[in-house]
Amino acid sequence: MKTIFPKKEYHVPKWFVIDANEKTLGRLATEASKLLRGKETTFFTPGVDQGNFVVILNADKIKVSGKKELQKLYYRNSQRPGGLKIESFQKLKDRIPSRILERAIWGMLPKGVLGREYYRRLYIYSNSEIKYKKTKDGNSKTINLASANEHNWIEVNLENK
């Protein structure tokens, strides 16, 4: 039997919506990275872009286990002398809640051209509503989790996995 090598033009990306309310950080990031890469397909090939779009809502309500909320540290560096900044999970969650999920998911994606392409398909929002500034008719539009089915988005339920 000949090996099937899927072509990019045969794959139609899907949109998945995940509600992060009271979900554990690592488990949510793992599922999101799998969906971004397209690992749920039967013909997954690591070198071919078969990824999907992932929208994560309620990023400010994510949780971690144990004392990680106080002990987990995030580092960033401006590459200038004395430019190392250290921030705890709680402070970063108060300041930019979506950054925590972005960093966790980015660490699970491949580092290269495909990884950057997958990362561009990730949308993280701090609350349960998505606000678009411009639409085709020029008006602003708000989409909430309840109306995800109207937009052909697939809601992901993490309790069953």
Query: pLDDT tens-digit profile of 47-61?
Result: 888 889 999 999 999
Top mean pLDDT of 20-24, 45-49, 99-103, 150-154 is at: 99-103
CATH topology of domain 1-22+36-43+58-63+96-129+153-161: Ribosomal Protein L13p; Chain: A; (3.90.1180)
Quote the pLDDT of residue 32.
93
Q: Global pTM?
A: 0.82
pLDDT greater at residue 67 or residue 153: 67
Q: Give the single-character DSSP code of 116.
A: H
Place of tokens 């697939």: 154
Query: pLDDT tens-digit profile of 133-151?
Result: 655 565 555 666 666 666 6
The band of 83, judged by pLDDT with boundaries at 50, 70 and 90, is: very high
Torsion of CA 42, 48, 53, 59, to 10 degrees: 100
The CA-based angle 71-26-114, given to 5 degrees, is 120
* 156 beta partners: 18
